[in-house]
Structure 1
Amino acid sequence: MKEFQTIEYKQQDRIATIAFNRPDAANGLNLEMATEFALAAQRAAEDASLKAVILTGNGRFFCAGGDVKAMQESPLGPSAGVKQIADELHKAISILSRMATPLIVAVNGTAAGAGFSTAVIGDLVVAAESAKFTMAYTNVGLSPDGSASYFMPRLIGLRKTQELMFTNKVLNAQEALHWGLINRVVPDAHLMAAALEWAEMFANGASGSFAAVKSLLLQSPTNELEAQMALEAQTIAERADSADGQEGIDAFVEKRRPTFS
């Protein structure tokens, strides 16, 4: 199994943790790190034993975005260099967004540029009190990547997204919570405990139901009302026919706690 150099991948029981691991470079995304991120995402998505995945950063930064120096020094030139990094980052985000396993993002510090974009892709997002969020792209003459133009308008609306992208406004953790970008803010020392609390909830719950929620929400923006309701009807019928669905229904009727597979 490949040993990562810029990503830390750990698994304990049914929970995997992926951590950006270039702390001396503010966890900036160079090509190696973006490629390893995609490989780590693929490993997690293909592991049927996993019930939750946590994404975080090592050190003071969650991720400072793209490594601008690495872009400048790319032997292919800045344009091709940044495209390579963006393509690998987008591969990772697509895998994590579409995998059946729920994703928890634990934002341990500053999330800038692609770091901000990646921070908000989680099914649940918890941030340390010291975390800060800024788009930062136009400060260096670039444009958003990392799915920001897809997820952020859906999370907070177009007007607030425009403010963040055009002005590079810096949000602290409480402001990010107020804006609807994250779910929870905790003291720095409690960040991973909070993420693990959610991960254990997923590990002990009905995995098929969580996967169904992810799938329904991902398809909702492109479906008409009736098409989405038809998908809901089909999905809930499939869940009712599953072992976990039958156990959940039986447990409810029998007034006991369900035991999911």
Structure 2
Amino acid sequence: MKYEEIIYEKKQQSAWIYLNRPKEMNSLSKKLITELLEVLKEIEQNDEIRLVVLSGKGKAFCAGADLKELLEDLDKGPNGQKSLLDCAEELFTKLNDLSKPLIVALNGVTVAGGLEIAMTADVVVASDKVKIGDGHANFGVLPGGGGAVRLPREIGINRAKYLLLTGDILPAEVWKDYGFVHDVVSAEELEEAVQKIAVKISAKSPLVLKEIKRLVTDGLDQSLDTALRQELLALKNHTQSHDFREGLGAFSDKREPEFKGY
């Protein structure tokens, strides 16, 4: 399929998706969201792809929802069509449930819905030119994609409250200090640095990657005892897989493993 508001490329075992509305700061339109959902569905069904990288074109990663479209939806009122907020809800559900590792490569301004997208990632890498913040309060808008709920879990309740209430937009280096951004690199090195991480992760067992994501996510909402039991049960089940035996066999034979994902 030909996409108009995203760019989709395959690099080895990684799928790279770029938000491509640079004049609109890659704000989330219904069309962009629809295209993004379609390509994510395709990627989930492709066993050759083991990891997803999401980035943007132009000066922004994503400046949040397209406020013009949002206002148009409000003016139209209920008309039986999906609103921008309905589409956004579907997108965040998909990103949260993505079984494959997700790296977000922040190339530029990341605010509001852009930050909320970044918070669905497993790894965040940013250009040294990037500024990040929630910013909803600056426009009299509430977060709707996890901003108020996930940000305290990511950077701590006091920092999160301050940023949510003030709407401050801070450099990526500060967010690295907060533990949210894994690394900050020059704009020229961003894609190369991210691809190195992608190659490293993609070499691992797809089964292990999927289960690690699930165990970490589920464990945050469980008691410690329950989470530990679930982790041990997952390991016991995993010992019956090809990848488990392949990994141990490769270690014993002193060779690189060839994981199959089953």
Question: 4+ residue stretches of structure 1 with deviation over 6 A?
Answer: none
The Cα shift of 1:36 comes to 2.1
The count of residues paired between Structure 1 and Structure 2 equals 259
Match of residue 133 from structure 1: 132
- DSSP-derived class of the 1:54 partner: strand
The Cα shift of 1:250 comes to 2.6
User: What amino acid does structure 2 have at the position aligned with 1:33?
Assistant: L
Match of residue 153 from structure 1: 152
- Seen in structure 2, the aligned counterparts of structure 1 residues 222 and 194 have a Cα distance that, compared at 3 Å, is same
Match of residue 96 from structure 2: 97
- Seen in structure 2, the aligned counterparts of structure 1 residues 220 and 169 have a Cα distance that, compared at 3 Å, is same
Match of residue 168 from structure 1: 167
Alignment of 1:65-144 (within 5 A): 65-74=64-73, 76-77=75-76, 84-144=83-143
Match of residue 24 from structure 2: 25
TM normalised by structure 1 equals 0.91
The Cα shift of 1:143 comes to 0.5
- Seen in structure 2, the aligned counterparts of structure 1 residues 220 and 87 have a Cα distance that, compared at 3 Å, is farther
Match of residue 200 from structure 2: 201
Give the aligned CA root-mean-square deviation in angstroms. Answer: 2.1
User: What amino acid does structure 2 have at the position aligned with 1:98?
Assistant: D
The Cα shift of 1:240 comes to 2.0
> Whole-Å Cα distance in 1 between the matches of residues 206 and 235 of structure 2?
14
Decide whether the 8 Å contact of 1:134 with 1:168 is kept in 2: yes
Please say which of residues 105-114 and 137-146 is displaced more in the overlay.
137-146
Match of residue 225 from structure 2: 226
> Whole-Å Cα distance in 2 between the matches of residues 88 and 47 of structure 1?
24
The Cα shift of 1:76 comes to 4.9
Q: What is the percentage of aligned positions where both structures have the same residue?
A: 28
The Cα shift of 1:79 comes to 9.1
The Cα shift of 1:194 comes to 1.1
User: What amino acid does structure 2 have at the position aligned with 1:87?
Assistant: D
Decide whether the 8 Å contact of 2:111 with 2:169 is kept in 1: no
Decide whether the 8 Å contact of 2:112 with 2:147 is kept in 1: no
> Whole-Å Cα distance in 2 between the matches of residues 95 and 49 of structure 1?
20
- DSSP-derived class of the 2:83 partner: helix
Measured against aligned partners, the alpha-carbon deviations of 1:115-168 in whole angstroms (never above 9, x if no partner) come to 111122211110000011121111111101222233322211221111111111
Please say which of residues 28-37 and 101-110 is displaced more in the overlay.
28-37
> Whole-Å Cα distance in 1 between the matches of residues 204 and 5 of structure 2?
32
Structure 1: which 5+ runs fail to align?
none
